[in-house]
Amino acid sequence: MAPAQRRAPPVRLQKHGGIFTAVNPSDWIRHWRHPNHLMLAVPWPGFFGLIAAGYLLLNLLFAVIFWVDPHGIAGVAGETTSFLEAFFFSVQTLGSIGYGAFHPSSLFTHLVVTVESLLGLIVIALTTGMAFSRFSRSTARILFSEVVTVHDYDGEPTLMFRLANERRKTILEARVQAFLAIDERTSEGHRMRRLHPMLLNRDRSPLFLLTWTLMHPINEHSPLHGRTSEELLASQAELVMAFSGIDETLERPIYAHHNVPASQMLFGQGFVDMMQEEEGQGQCFDFANFNRTQPCPCSDPA
């Protein structure tokens, strides 16, 4: 008789960016298996907090080891080494500060000092490398419109959304991809979360400096063809967008992504033109109109 297999506990899911991801209160523990990823992923306060916690724990560990030999440290105030003196002796050793009044006086303490000095070099090198990696990492400041609009454009229903470059620095080889994430069922009744690619009129730009309006024609090749706003809401549809490009200043790739739920897909609305005419100043961009919409005619996407 085959042994009973251990059943894995169910995993709760949440939807993020149009895609379901696992949610488990104990999942954060798994990050400790990949400390490099953890140190790059946490925000700066968390990064410095982990560095400080690791530094404190390491010195506490070596303080306990030094405390094993009560006469191994010379220059202490009493006849034997106190735990506080052992701790600060470890701090001086790990940081290569120089002992001053404290110095090792036994073979055991000399050996521990040797190990801690070597470990201190490694810790400093790793910390410096992680801090440099965080500082040198390129971050995209791409602003996505809060809503998407659907209205007629050149006689065809068209979905539109906007991007803006918040840094106002040129991004080279910019590229945008759009997908419709929607719940569907197969002919056999299997429920699936699918990503349907959405063809854009122009998904690449050699230079991206200010704003960019992306257009997706809703024709027979579109995953939105024949779908009503009520059907999209019932299927928990979302528009998933991914941006990539090269920062001209740092010459490094940058990425950004965004998702818009079906509740923020505005049918019969169009974006207000950001190009404004001002007397005596000619044309100018009004970024206050980035998310503003106005009624526009929209035929049935079916």
Of 236 and 187, more confident: 236
Q: Indicate if 179 and 274 belong to the same structural domain.
A: yes
For residue 136, pLDDT over 70 is answered with yes
The residue segments making up the domain with residue 277 are 142-295
Q: Indicate if 124 and 45 belong to the same structural domain.
A: yes
Q: What pLDDT does residue 206 have?
A: 92
Report the number of distinct structural domains present in the chain.
2
> Region 237-257: what's the mean pLDDT?
89
For residue 15, pLDDT over 70 is answered with no
- The 10 Å CB-count burial string (b at 16+, else e) for 41-62 is eeeeeebeeeeeeeeeebbeeb
- Cα–Cα dist 283/90, whole Å: 66
Domain end position, chosen among 110, 136, 162: 136
Structural domain contains residue 56: yes
> Region 15-19: what's the mean pLDDT?
50
Q: Which of 231, 221, 235 is nearest to 192 (CA)?
A: 235
Q: What pLDDT does residue 28 have?
A: 47
Q: Indicate if 290 and 154 belong to the same structural domain.
A: yes
- Cα–Cα dist 245/139, whole Å: 11
Q: Indicate if 118 and 17 belong to the same structural domain.
A: yes
Structural domain contains residue 3: no
For residue 197, pLDDT over 90 is answered with yes
Q: Indicate if 125 and 166 belong to the same structural domain.
A: no
Of 24 and 41, more confident: 41
Q: What pLDDT does residue 205 have?
A: 92
For residue 4, pLDDT over 90 is answered with no
CATH number of the domain residue 232 falls in: 2.60.40.1400
For residue 161, pLDDT over 90 is answered with yes
- Least confident interval from 74-83, 105-114, 206-215: 74-83
Domain end position, chosen among 136, 153, 181: 136
CATH number of the domain residue 30 falls in: 1.10.287.70
pTM above 0.85, yes or no: no
Q: What pLDDT does residue 25 have?
A: 43
Domain end position, chosen among 79, 112, 136: 136
